[in-house]
């Protein structure tokens, strides 16, 4: 199983999956320990929020683990055959282990600042894609 974890700093699980461009990729084959196999550092136009179509590196994943994701992102990834799970764990490796053990920590409540701080206007909401 290939699992990508959103990690803008390559150290912790981060949110806003639709805008994320950095992912730590793990191969997981229980009962073996998940192994980090790659790091994706995608250009801006490859963030799913901006991506317009065609093949995408995330298409190769079975699962994306993130701190937060909007329904638009979840639906877009489901159409590509990729499941999305939000969690409250900050350590990427532990987040993968928790998923494999069926013990995903619930994500922290998501609180929005003013929409203009997210670069959106018209009430579109940053977590929609």
3-state secondary structure at position 117: helix
- pLDDT per position as a tens digit, 6-16: 999 999 999 99
Q: Which of 53, 52, 38 is nearest to 92 (CA)?
A: 38
Q: Exposure string (b/e) for 85-99, b if CB count within 10 Å is 16 or more?
A: bbbebeebbebbbbb
Using DSSP's 3-state secondary structure scheme, residue 118 falls into: helix
Structure tokens at 38: 């790659």
CB 4 within 8 A of CB 25: yes
pLDDT at residue 111 in the model: 54
Instruction: Quote the CA–CA distance of 38 and 8 in Å, as a whole number.
Output: 14
42 HSE (CA, 13 A, CB side): 24
In the structure, what pLDDT confidence band is assigned to residue 122 with cuts at 50, 70 and 90? very low
Residues 66, 84: Cα–Cα separation, whole Å: 8
Domains and CATH numbers, the chain: 2-109 (3.30.420.130)
pLDDT for 57-83, tens place per residue? Answer: 999 999 999 999 999 999 999 999 999
């Amino acid at each position: 199983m290939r699992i990508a974890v959103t990690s803008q700093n390559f150290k912790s699980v981060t949110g806003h999956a639709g805008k994320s461009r950095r992912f730590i990729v793990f191969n997981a084959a229980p009962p073996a320990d998940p192994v980090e196999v790659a790091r994706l550092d995608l250009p801006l136009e490859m963030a799913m929020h901006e991506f317009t179509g065609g093949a995408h590196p995330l298409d190769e994943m079975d699962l994306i683990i993130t701190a937060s994701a909007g329904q638009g992102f979840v639906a877009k990834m489901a159409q590509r055959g990729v499941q999305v799970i939000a969690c409250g764990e900050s350590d990427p490796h532990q987040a993968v282990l928790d998923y494999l053990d069926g013990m995903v920590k619930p994500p922290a409540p998501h609180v929005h600042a003013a929409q203009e701080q997210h670069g959106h206007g018209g009430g579109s909401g940053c977590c929609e894609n």
